[in-house]
Amino acid sequence: MNSSVSSSHNSVLINLKIKFSKLLQQPTFLIGSVLVIILSYLVIAPIVSIFSNSVSLTMMDAMLSGGKDGEFTYKYVDRVFASSISEKIFWVPLKNSLTVSFFATLIALTLGLILASLVTSTNIFGRKYLGFLLIIPYMLPSQAMATAWLTMFKNRKISGPQGMLESFGITPPDWLAYGPLPISICMALSYFPFAFLLFSSALSKIDIQLEEVASTLGAKTKVIWSKIILPLLIPTTMSVLLLTVARTLGTFATPYILGTPAKYTLLSTSLYSSVRSNDSGVVAVIAIVLSLIGVMLLLVDIWVVRKWQRFVTVGGKGVKRQPSKLGILRTPTTLFAWVIFLIAALGPFIVLALSTLMREPGNFAFSNFGLAYWTGVNVPGMDQPGIFTSPEVITALKNSFLIAGSASVICGFLGLLIGYAVVRLPGTLISGFLRQISFLPYLMPGLAFAAAYLSLFAVSRGPIPALYGSISLLILVMVVTYLPYASRSGISAMMQVGPEPEEAGMVLGAGFWRRITSILAPLQKSALIIAIILPFITGMKELSLVVMLVTPGTELLTTQSIRFLDFGYTQLANATILIIGVVVMISVLILNRLTKTNLASGLGG
Amino acid sequence: MSEIKLKSIVKNFGGNSIAVDNLSEIFPDGEFVCLLGPSGCGKTTTLRMIAGLETPDSGEISYGEKIFFSSKNGEFIKTENRNLGLMFQSYALWPHMTVFKNIVFGLEMQKKSLDEKEKRYLELEKLFHLENFRDRYPSELSGGQQQRVALARMLAMKPNLLLLDEPLSNLDSNLRLEMRSELKRLHQSLGCTIIFVTHDQMEAMTLATSIAVMNKGKIEQIAKPMEIYNNPKSLFVAKFVGSPQMNIINSDKDENLALCLSKKLNIEKNKVKNFGARPESIKMVQQNNGDINAKIETIQPTGADWIVGLNVSGKSIFVISSEQPIGKENDTIGIDFKVEGCHSFDSNDLRIVKS
Amino acid sequence: MNKIRIKTISLFTSFFFGMALLLQPVASYAMTLDELIAAAQKEGEVNTYWHSSRMGKKVAKAFEEKYGIKVNATKMKDSEMTERIVREVSSGNVIVDLVGYDDGPFLDTVLTPKGMVENYVPPYLANDIPKDSQKPLIYLWQPFVIGYNSETYGDSCPIKSLWQLTEKDWSGRFHMWDPRIASSMLQMFSAMEDRSDELAASYKKHYGKDLKVSEANAGLEFVKRLAANNPVLYNEDYEIAVAVGTKGQSQAPIGIYSLGRHRENAKKNLALALCDVDPFKGLNQPTYMQIVKGAPHPNAARLLAYYVLTQEGANPWVGVVGAYSSNSSLGSSPDNPYPTAEAWKGTLLVSNNTNVANRRADLMDFWIKHSK
């Protein structure tokens, strides 16, 4: 009896000893555990705080109504769902959001599918260039499209310089200038490249032999498309559909710019109004609703993917599909594709650029052109310095680079680390937990996440000092928000490498750090570059996440452009957006040059 | 003696089946041991446990005096410190390093001087005909060249124990033959212990000095190749080794043939569950001149010999013959069994050894 | 003997020196202006959140030239300012020193009682500032007025009574601050409740019949009808002024904005004019000036507070149309319709901070509920 106790005690010790020596050989477990702790804090704490905020009395309300700060209350839930104003702040915006999402997604999906088919599988003119050019709208910040629209179509309903059409003597009606129609169109034009990318990659993955078999059996091109290719695209279509809906629901800039003048409120702008009026309890409730919609969409997506899994075909021999001849349709389809490019990518650029070059909108006289908005010391009629002489813009530019830059670097490394831990600890709790938790921020709308961070890190907590008003807060929140992209690419990169290269080093006597530095890191170089540049691009364009966290001195280019817009300095806002667009496009070119990767792989999230 | 000793090794990955089931074996020094078995039989797991890339759930692994692993006292030597060579099926050459860098990596780990690295590299370069490849990257090499680089990398530190995990399976058949003789030559000249994992019985037969046939996490039989071939311990081993496969004759279903074999082997038919007859142990003779008559179904000439499909009272068997078959399809002929190539197995699928 | 004396003296000096050290925080209130300047200069800079961009554009430059102290000024709406003051003070990470703040109700009912701000009346000017503007310190009065486009409508405002803003004619053509963001609008609504009778009387005067009141009072009735008449909302009155005053419009809207916007008529080629409308021409908005608790540059903040109450520092506001300093010794621009804030008398609404504080949440919901 006694001996069995002591031997079992002994075996526990021995077990521990083995575990420990394994840990020394392969400290993945250690890395995983540290990551679990860090991520729990950075991801779960804000989510918990959002939930608790939704049912506890805010400090502001406690001060005003004399309750106790943090006291349990249904006040906000009630206010959002069943009070006299819930229709205005929730139900109508919900309906509007769903309407706009529906139409935007429909247009984006159709455009994406048609353009992807044309570019991957037909001989339209310039298909080589279109593949890249049609992604450009995705690189522009979402307010670019909206402000370009406004610059073009605005009427006297709101103030500021004249719209371009207006200056030609045409007054666009309100329904064309503001509200659901322009919001849907602008969102669709901003998000169709996403559909385009996914469809293109799906089309190029379909085994060409499947089509060849059909044509040997006598099927014509038209039949092949309707009976074979399109059905095979159903899973992709579902994914595009759900993810685009999710994106449009979370978009803030477009409805803010185009919806506000018509009082057309979406959930995202309603959330922002609540933020602006310090109604943080309501913010929490709406944020939860938005997140729940996100979760629901994701679950449906997972279900769809699983259901259609049997459709997934193993890639063929990588033979490129022979572009089919369009014949008489070649010219019109080419025209169509290029017109879309013109409207969605080149159009905004031209409109924005023109507006910053013309003193008076719509006056094409040579003398009316000038660089006042860019280089002027004092822009006429604005009492403001031009972009290049404006200290605000220069600070914002610096901040954008600093914040998006450091966030993306941290994010990239963190993503690879997570990938490493997840892939090397298969089947463990840690692996599953890390995989799930690093994906969670994906479900939270940026505004909601920012709200959570604001309330969580405004005061010092544990080892983390009060971060309010600091650049670190912005970096932190960006890192966490972009983590899903980074960790996903990290995981897939690690999956591709497999354990052998590392094991080969192990056998030859390389210790853990040596394996990481001289084998794994160089192998993952291009994955790392992607994992850094993609968040950088997103960070440069980011608005909804940071719009409530910026403080004087920490403004970013995107928030600065909104500030300009608030003051009616449309041209300065446009110029700022142009700067963002240019920076992002240069980054994309660098990415292409460095890694020779298609954006499709990274943006497909 | 630097023999490898496995003592009651158990490894379970979770799930229904055990990967390695209470395995105890000794692989003597200087042997070229082949772990042979179908996929999922635990052979690669065994190899990886010897390398230290997996840890057994219990048991003990030792190499000479060194205890690699013991669940009794918690002994564990890290892979890095086991000083062995391991070659992967995929070769696992580092794509971001040149041939030179790949090969001298181990020496670098031991902080060897540049001269030493250079010297050793030149030796290996010569040994494996890698001249002119020094600054190439693995992706710029052919499969055979990659394989030789992987071998050179493994041997750079002159390990006494080499572990090879299906190193030939990614090569085409010509190269495979070439590499087989290369490996055999290496083993003879280096005199080190090699443990080689394969599912290809031909490879095992031609290379190994001893073959361990594994099935369901256990070693069914370990012996010299010809011993395995001639005296398989079990039906599994008999079936797994040899190509075309041994003809299996069930004593109940294939009554006529079974009766004929039981007479030939002088054994009671009802003691036997299955008979086995190697294709080359069956000789084709004129009709009615053999032990039993058969009808020719197919004839497949391979160039060197003929594989003939026969039908003996409803049972299809294969015969391999170095001479032209005496008939053509649908002809009836007689067959003779050679006793050396015929075996009987009991209800536990074990070979019945006549006393 | 001598020795003892020296000892006593040194004892005394050290005692007083010690006392001085102990009393130092208190003593700073009693600093002479020169001492304050010296202390402020030692701090080197001062951060402000201000209701008006003139702090950053004009005052900052002059102040830095005069004292060598840098002013970092950010223009901010009061809801954002409130959020920031509360966050900064409760996180202990105070960035801002001095605020120019419009939300009197919140100041009176929360910030001051909770000790989140410090009321500083420059002792050098205490006699010039009326007592009722001292606690908490009001530094500026700004009329927020109803204005129209004089190019479109000529010399007289197209409306005579405020109630006309609730007519279909003006649907979508009244431009104002968003009440969810600018507390001034809630202050205005509350003041309208306070003066319901005058609103009802104006209705009768204009339409010749009694107002049918379906809400608690005529003020609320007006707010309801206004909200339902689709007003256009803004964050910044700069935009309101441009929308109203831009020339060449045939259907120019009416708007409420700060009277100071009239100074931009020439510079920005606008045609803004004051509406003589019954019963109120707008709201007289007091702006408070407070030092935030735990400010990193308290002395520089005090000096700046003093400075904007002097002629030189107040000039960006009082030198042009649309603002009156609380320092009664300072004049105001001759462009103003009245020489002092008091002279507007009843034509401008003035809210009662306590009433606003009590009603603001309800008024806000009321507004949201009835908005179209």
Tell me which residue in B73, B97, B106 faces A509 most closely, judged by beta carbons. Answer: B106
At residue C49, the pLDDT reads 92
CA count, 13 A, side-chain hemisphere, C267: 13
Helix (H, G, I), strand (E, B) or coil at C44: coil
Q: What is d(CA A411, CA A486) in angstroms, rounded to the nearest whole number?
A: 6
| Residue C62 reports pLDDT greater than 80 | yes
CA distances from B191 to A233, A575, B183, B196 (A): 59, 76, 12, 15
Q: Which residues pair with C149 in a beta bridge?
A: C272
Q: What is d(CA A76, CA A84) in angstroms, rounded to the nearest whole number?
A: 12
Residue A187 lies in a domain: no
Q: Are A523 and B88 an interchain contact pair (Cβ–Cβ within 8 Å)?
A: no
Q: Are A503 and B92 an interchain contact pair (Cβ–Cβ within 8 Å)?
A: yes
- CATH fourth-level superfamily of C142-284+346-370: Periplasmic binding protein-like II (3.40.190.10)
Burial per residue of B48-64, b for 16 or more beta-carbon CB atoms within 10 angstroms, e otherwise: bbbbbbbbbebbbbbbe
At residue B62, the pLDDT reads 92
* Structural domain of A529: 26-49+381-605
Gap from B98 CA to chain A (nearest CA, Å): 13
SS3 content of chain C, % helix, strand, coil (to 5): 50, 20, 35
Question: Which of A442, A143, A144 is closest to A269 using CA atoms?
Answer: A143
Q: Are A503 and B76 an interchain contact pair (Cβ–Cβ within 8 Å)?
A: no
Low-confidence spans in chain A with pLDDT less than 50: 1-5, 314-317, 600-605
Tell me which residue in A18, A508, A519 faces B76 most closely, judged by beta carbons. Answer: A18
Of C239, C358, C364, which to mutate for an interface test with A (greatest number of A Cβ within 10 Å)? C239
Please identify among residues 222-281 of chain C the ones whose CB lies closer than 8 Å to any CB of chain A: 230, 232-236, 238-244, 246, 249, 251, 253, 267-269
Chains C and B touch each other (3 or more Cβ pairs < 8 A): no
Determine the average pLDDT of the residues in C356-369: 90
Between β-strands B332-337 and B282-285, what pairing exists: parallel, antiparallel or unpaired? antiparallel
Gap from B206 CA to chain A (nearest CA, Å): 27
Residues of C within 8 A of A466 (CB-CB) are 91-93
DSSP letters along C311-341, please?
Answer: HHHHHHHHTSTT-EES-TTS---TTSSSSSS
Q: Are A85 and C369 an interchain contact pair (Cβ–Cβ within 8 Å)?
A: yes
Token pair, residue B345, equals 């197995």
At residue C20, the pLDDT reads 47
Residues of B within 8 A of A525 (CB-CB) are 96
| Residue C11 reports pLDDT greater than 60 | no
Please give the single-letter amino acid code of residue A265.
Answer: T
Give the CATH class of C30-140+286-338: alpha beta
Give the A:C interface size as CB pairs under 8 Å.
112
Beta carbons within 8 Å of B303's beta carbon, 6+ residues apart: none
Beta carbons within 8 Å of A347's beta carbon, 6+ residues apart: A148
Beta carbons within 8 Å of A305's beta carbon, 6+ residues apart: A235, A238, A239
Q: What is d(CA C28, CA C36) in angstroms, rounded to the nearest whole number?
A: 8
Partner A contacted by B158 (CB < 8 A): no
Q: In the structure, what pLDDT confidence band is assigned to residue C159 with cuts at 50, 70 and 90?
A: very high
| Closest residue of chain A to C371, computed from CA coordinates | A88
At residue B54, the pLDDT reads 85
The residue extents of the domains of chain C are 30-140+286-338, 142-284+346-370
Average pLDDT, chain C: 87
* CATH of span B247-345: 2.40.50.140
Chains contacting chain A through 3 or more C-beta pairs under 8 A: B, C
| Residue C24 reports pLDDT greater than 50 | no
DSSP letters along A264-303, please?
Answer: ---HHHHHHHHHHTT-HHHHHHHHHHHHHHHHHHHHHHHH
Token pair, residue B103, equals 């090969």
Which residue do the tokens 């670019």 mark? A144
Gap from A275 CA to chain C (nearest CA, Å): 9
Of C90, C109, C185, which to mutate for an interface test with A (greatest number of A Cβ within 10 Å)? C90
ipTM: 0.78
Token pair, residue C207, equals 């339409």
Residue A500 lies in a domain: yes
Local confidence pLDDT in tens for the 355 residues of chain B: 588 999 999 998 876 678 898 899 999 999 999 999 998 888 999 999 998 888 888 899 999 888 999 988 888 888 888 888 888 888 888 888 899 999 998 888 888 899 999 999 999 998 888 888 999 988 888 888 898 899 899 888 888 899 999 888 878 888 888 888 888 888 988 888 999 999 999 889 999 999 999 999 999 999 999 999 999 999 999 999 988 899 999 988 888 889 999 998 888 888 899 999 999 999 999 988 889 999 999 999 988 899 999 999 889 999 999 888 888 889 999 999 998 889 999 999 999 887 5
At residue C23, the pLDDT reads 45
Evaluate the omega torsion of the peptide bond into residue C136 and state whether it is cis, within 30 degrees of 0: yes
Q: Are A466 and C91 an interchain contact pair (Cβ–Cβ within 8 Å)?
A: yes
The residue extents of the domains of chain B are 4-240, 247-345
Residue A10 lies in a domain: no
CA distances from B309 to A239, A476, B330 (A): 54, 73, 11
Residue A516 lies in a domain: yes
Question: Which of A112, A136, A123 is closest to A200 using CA atoms?
Answer: A112
Token pair, residue A248, equals 């449009």
Q: Are B55 and A22 an interchain contact pair (Cβ–Cβ within 8 Å)?
A: yes
Residue A57 lies in a domain: no
Contact between B353 and B279 (Cβ < 8 Å): no
Gap from A64 CA to chain C (nearest CA, Å): 7
CATH number at residue A527: 1.10.3720.10
For a pLDDT cut of 90, what percent of chain C falls above it? 51
Helix (H, G, I), strand (E, B) or coil at A7: helix
Please tell me whether the overall predicted TM-score, pTM, comes out greater than 0.80 for this model: no
| Closest residue of chain A to B55, computed from CA coordinates | A22
Contact between C230 and A178 (Cβ < 8 Å): no
- Measure the N-to-C terminal CA separation of chain C; round to a whole number of Å: 92
Q: What is d(CA B192, CA A427) in angstroms, rounded to the nearest whole number?
A: 37
Q: In the structure, what pLDDT confidence band is assigned to residue C10 with cuts at 50, 70 and 90?
A: low
Contact between C189 and C222 (Cβ < 8 Å): no
Q: What is d(CA C356, CA C347) in angstroms, rounded to the nearest whole number?
A: 19
- Measure the N-to-C terminal CA separation of chain A; round to a whole number of Å: 60
pLDDT tens for C206-257 read 999 998 989 889 999 999 999 999 898 888 888 899 889 888 788 889 999 9
Gap from A432 CA to chain B (nearest CA, Å): 17
- CATH fourth-level superfamily of B4-240: P-loop containing nucleotide triphosphate hydrolases (3.40.50.300)
Give the A:B interface size as CB pairs under 8 Å.
84
pLDDT tens for C339-352 read 888 888 889 999 99
Residues of A within 8 A of C249 (CB-CB) are 156
Helix (H, G, I), strand (E, B) or coil at C214: coil
